[in-house]
Amino acid sequence: MRLLRYTIRLCAAMSLLAVVACAPSTAEPVAFPAAKVDLPVVQGERTRTAVFAGGCFWGIEAVFEHLKGVKDASSGYAGGTRETANYELVSSGRTGHAESVRVVYDPTEITYGTLLRIFFSIAHDPTELNRQGPDVGPQYRSVIFANDANEQRVAQAYVEQLDATQIFRRPIVTEIVTAQPFYRAEDYHQDYAARNPNQPYIVFHDAPKVEHLKRQYPDLYRGT
């Protein structure tokens, strides 16, 4: 079953050769605004976590791993139970989980608002409902798992800011929900794009996201 799903993913990805992976429904270059509302920097605090979901976690993880100020990004599952937090079950689309990425970052180097900016402009297309590109199902939905009311306020404010600019031609469908337990995915999913750079799905769907990050935000981009 896993091989079949990968084969379907690869075939679908190869059919998107002419499409910019993760491209929002606007043409490049797009000047995504910096967040007007952001979390304050707390003196002495050097580590925070944020959890995002927006399609296959391989590409989301790869984007955040290339951001200055991000200390770690790991693939996993959020939205369901511990018992169903495995790839085979999550892939059924019936567990409540979304393929997610937990981002550990230094708030003195990169802000939550900047992570949101990258999430919406580079990591995925927030106007696609229950899918991203070739991947279809609720496990690929767009979600921000807010750790507290302040994160929820900042995330909601940024969505409203993007809506006001009409930067997307279609409505943003990203859910903003209270954080739920994050369950780390199987080891073979971690750093998948970095370890499999020639895999067709990565080449055609995820590597362009990292290149887009490098071009659009050179001041934020961190090479390997």
- Is 221 in contact with 213 (CB distance < 8 Å)? yes
Question: Any residues with CB less than 8 A from the CB of 152 and at least 6 apart, and which?
Answer: 146, 176, 178
| Burial (CB count within 10 angstroms: exposed 0-12, middle 13-18, buried 19+), residue 120 | buried
**Residue 11 appears among annotated catalytic residues:** no
Supply the DSSP string of 70-112, one letter for each residue. Answer: EEEEEEEEESS-GGG-SHHHHTTT-SS-EEEEEEEE-TTTS-H
Which listed residue (10, 13, 50, 56) is catalytic?
Answer: 56
The catalytic residue positions are 56
